[in-house]
Structure 1
């Protein structure tokens, strides 16, 4: 019986470059790296770049979130977590390590000076 459903798959890949220049790394529960292992690895590879966010981010599948401190100079951590909850966390599968890049654009209108 044909239900009329179609599926599409888009694949993209790129060379992994070190040091990592991603904005957010999301570590799901039961990932091979583990929260402390990934944190230690990041500190060895690129010391002082990522901030570990409390594991209580309000989603049962997420063990830890590491946010690039550069991003936190533009957006408060609470807002980043809120955006991730709304748009990303539901797509993170058990055992995954997800990299997230956020493009931040700041515009100011009607500035009187």
Structure 2
């Protein structure tokens, strides 16, 4: 009985458009990530100068956070970092770079006008 020696490939293919930088809101850099804060800062200076603010944080796993300046026009950096410390930082390892979606919506309940 002969064995089938035909070589077969199975390929799963997918693709999607990316934008530079490949995130819009916030990027969290782990202390031991391969790119690090200096590398990411150089990348931002080339691709999107003055669009992101670099925030250094005191955390055993996190080196820095990059926040889109449009977010910082609406909410203070300290408040954003406070939210990230509570909701995101516990889930990142030192070697990771984490993209954070941070959609901010401002609502007013009542605006009284005197005419």
TM-score over 0.5 (shorter chain) = yes
Segments of 5+ residues of structure 2 without an aligned counterpart are 1-14
Q: Which structure is larger by alpha-carbon Rg, 1 or 2?
A: 2
CA distance in 2, matches of 1:20, 1:62: 20
CA distance in 2, matches of 1:15, 1:91: 27
Segments of 5+ residues of structure 1 without an aligned counterpart are 1-12
Distance apart, 1:93 and its partner CA:
1.2
Deviating 4+ runs (over 3 angstroms): none
Distance apart, 1:16 and its partner CA:
2.7
| Alignment counterpart, residue 25 of structure 1, candidates 21, 24, 27 | 27
Aligned length: 99
Show the counterpart of 1:95.
95
Query: SS at 1:41's partner residue?
Result: helix
* RMSD of equivalent CA atoms: 1.6
